Amino acid sequence: MIPLPGSRVITLLLAVLGLALAPLRAANKEINLFAWSEYFPQSVLEGFSKETGIRINYETFASGEEMLAKMLAGGTAYDLVQPPDYIAEALIKNRLLVPLDYTKLPGVKNILPEYLNMAHDPEQRYTLPYMVSTVGIVVNTERVKEPITGLVDLFSPRYAGRIVVVDDARELVTAALYVLGYPLNEINAKNLAEARPLLAQWMKRIKLYDSDSPKTALLNGDVDLGYVWGGEAARLWAENPKFAYVIPKEGAHQFVDVMAIPQGAKNIEAAHRFLEYLLRPEVSKAISDEFPYTNPNGAARQLLTPEQRANPASYPPGDRKFGTFRHLGETGAMIDELITDLKNAR
């Protein structure tokens, strides 16, 4: 057979094109995820990979501020990120997120309307809610017999050395602002100066700060009270109802952790596939089974057991409205400086 003119050239071009597309094909088989630790059940990650053949590389951060700093510094090697609401707001303002393609996300219909078009993403263009929760008080009622109704009770001198708190500067400052009667986002030099002596008293009474799993100290009996994330409190209550959950009477913060696709993502198509997977009621329910935060997926909630829906830390009774954090910009540094100073002064 006589080769056609130029066939070798065509063959060479196809080979070069194949080499060029090889990294793309490889990229389409993996997702780089930047998220909180201990927040995705391994079964969910493995289930997605088994169904799609797409591997998930899971890198974690310890705070929203850490995530924001990395993203602002050009940390764009991710296909999906999981910021808290106020960090998502900052990412949107800095044009660091890709608008979602809702034609690929029909499962968004499962999200309850109260968790859409929130302050951090009012047009619902860039984020999907993953899990929601409050920050409140856990009481070991076998060891603490007095009624605990708020933050003033929690940080009473009588409980010095018996308290664990989330190691989060803004949550501590927010608690003090609530006690002083200020809104949670009204952060300024005057209010922080007023909060300083109150926080100094409280911090002398705190035994442990924990940024990962404050429930552990309560479960082990190392402390008797805690100021913790609702999902952690829910796991404690499920373990033993002696761990009561109290929404502070002075006020409570609600956080919304979201999923988003950052600018520079190499695998936007696969990222959408994973988001749609998470929106499935049975998948979202599996997340709640292991991490019992407040699930914003209404269809998934219907699959929960009556005991799960009755968990007061997952689904606080009543109709109280909770505030959410807004991004503070440079003012946020004042919070970190205050708490660092007070920790060093202990």
pLDDT along the chain (346 residues), means of 10: 42 43 56 94 97 96 90 86 97 97 98 97 98 97 97 98 96 97 95 97 96 91 97 96 97 96 96 98 98 98 97 92 90 92 87
Q: How far apart are CA 177 and CA 193, in angstroms?
A: 11
Burial of 294 (0-12, 13-18, 19+ CB in 10 A): buried
Q: How far apart are CA 344 and CA 342, in angstroms?
A: 5
Residue type present at position 106: P
Q: Which residue has the tokens 């605990």?
A: 148
Task: Please tell me the pTM assigned to this model.
Answer: 0.88
Output the pLDDT for position 75. 63
Q: How far apart are CA 230 and CA 246, in angstroms?
A: 10
Output the pLDDT for position 15. 43
**Dihedral of alpha carbons 146, 151, 156, 158, sign:** positive
Output the pLDDT for position 213. 87
Q: How far apart are CA 140 and CA 21, in angstroms?
A: 58
Output the pLDDT for position 297. 98
Asked if residues 312 and 245 have their Cβ atoms less than 8 Å apart, the reply is yes
Asked if residues 215 and 233 have their Cβ atoms less than 8 Å apart, the reply is yes
Give all domains of the chain, ordered by start, each with its CATH number: 7-131+255-309 (3.40.190.10), 133-254+319-345 (3.40.190.10)
Q: DSSP letter string over 324-339?
A: -----GGGHHHHHHHH
Q: How far apart are CA 212 and CA 324, in angstroms?
A: 21
Distances (CA, A) of 341 to 50, 164, 210, 336: 49, 19, 18, 8
Shortest CA distance to 206 belongs to which of 238, 255, 169, 254? 169
